[in-house]
Structure 1
Amino acid sequence: MKKDYIICRICLVKATFMLFLLSFCAMKAQRTLTVGGTNWAVSIPSITEAGSNYAGTYESAANQILLTASIPLLLSSGKVSVHYEGNPTWNPNLILQAKRTGDGTTLCLLCTITGGTAYQTVTLTDIELFRITAIAALASYTNIPIQLQLSGVSVTIPAATYNSRLVFTISAL
């Protein structure tokens, strides 16, 4: 009877060590996100006639920004978020929006990328753009295309050069 107890205790210690080891590996494995593409300089035509206003809405190329994302753990998910920072100034009447225009490329057959295919207003705080889920393999996507839209351009906004920086993050769900 005592021998069975000792064997079970050793199994418990081994199981605890394995759980600790898996937890440590999970902490070391990180989701990664790399941002590529080019800066977008919106070309806004001059107004030449009194009483006219700007077109108001401008779109970038469908692949203006290219994201590469990795989810390193099986049965895991990642949330890709975005926010903007005035760089150095931004007029709050200008509305910047972003959307995902494709899935990019992946070798993972049972991974999914969802959401973000409709324009979402980018704010000063993170908004979720899309999600990646890894089911039976590690998820890795390259060249996920992001398109931008600028609206709210009006003659009522003071003439100036406005710059903004988009910040993309990836986190666990």
Structure 2
Amino acid sequence: MIDLKKFIAKNIFIAILVVFSQLQSQRTLTVGGTNWTVTIPSITEAGNNYAGTYESSTNQIILAASVPLLLTSGKVSMHYVANPTWNSNLILSARRTGDGTTTCVGCSISGGTTYTVIPPTTDIEFFRITAVLALASYSNIPVQLQLSGVSVTLPATSYNSQIVFTISAL
């Protein structure tokens, strides 16, 4: 004979697991902004070097991220890819210059407020978003870029890279 209470409890538990697993896969990340072209002044006197470090506007990149509910977190990571040419002496970094906007009460965004060196090909954590019993949805998260290592010792050419952002579960 089937115990109706156990049968109902088991099915409710399975339904909760299915819903939870669906929510876990609903992290989203949208990247906006404009390309950054670094303007490097000419050297007019022998023996001088470039300033070496250059910064973009404080909102060069705009991110929007969502993390599902039920006490979960999303980790936003980044790396760069040479596009097509890059010099390993150039160091690309990023920092989050604000929290963006959210209507989520009790949710939080943390990390990434100091420059983080962006590695080539391997992701590094940039910041985290934590959801507490609500969808943590942030928009207009401003990101500033920094380029360092610019020197007269680098071959004169155009260097390009592409930053790749990802969001994943912790």
What is the aligned counterpart of 2:70 among 67, 74, 88?
A: 74
Stretches of structure 2 lacking an aligned partner (at least 5 in a row): none
Structure 1 residues 33-112: aligned runs within 5 Å: 33-112=29-108
- Whichever of the two has the greater Rg, that structure is 1
CA shift for structure 1 position 75: 1.0
CA shift for structure 1 position 13: 3.6
CA deviation vs aligned residue, 1:44-95 (integer Å, no higher than 9, x gap): 0111111000000000000000000001222111000010000001000000
Runs of 4+ in 1 over 6 A off after TM superposition: none
Secondary structure of 1:18's aligned partner: helix
Name 2:154's counterpart in structure 1: 157
Between the aligned residues of both structures, percent identity stands at: 64
In 2: Cα distance, 1:102 partner to 1:170 partner? 18
Check 1:19–1:64 CA distance in 2 against 1; reply closer, same or farther (3 A cut).
Answer: same
What is the root-mean-square deviation in Å for CA atoms of aligned residues? 1.6
- Give TM-score scaled by structure 1 length: 0.91
What is the aligned counterpart of 1:134 among 123, 131, 134?
A: 131
Q: Given residue 76 of structure 1, which amino acid in structure 2 is its aligned partner?
A: T
CA contact (8 A) 2:75 2:125 kept: yes
CA shift for structure 1 position 42: 0.1
What is the aligned counterpart of 1:114 among 100, 110, 113?
A: 110
When the two structures are aligned, how many residues end up with a matched partner? Answer: 169
CA contact (8 A) 2:76 2:128 kept: yes
Secondary structure of 1:17's aligned partner: helix
Q: Given residue 159 of structure 1, which amino acid in structure 2 is its aligned partner?
A: A
Q: Given residue 132 of structure 2, which amino acid in structure 1 is its aligned partner?
A: I
- Give TM-score scaled by structure 2 length: 0.93
Q: Given residue 69 of structure 1, which amino acid in structure 2 is its aligned partner?
A: A
Q: Given residue 93 of structure 1, which amino acid in structure 2 is its aligned partner?
A: N
CA deviation vs aligned residue, 1:2-56 (integer Å, no higher than 9, x gap): 6xx62344234423432443245335x4100000011000000111111000000
CA contact (8 A) 2:94 2:143 kept: yes
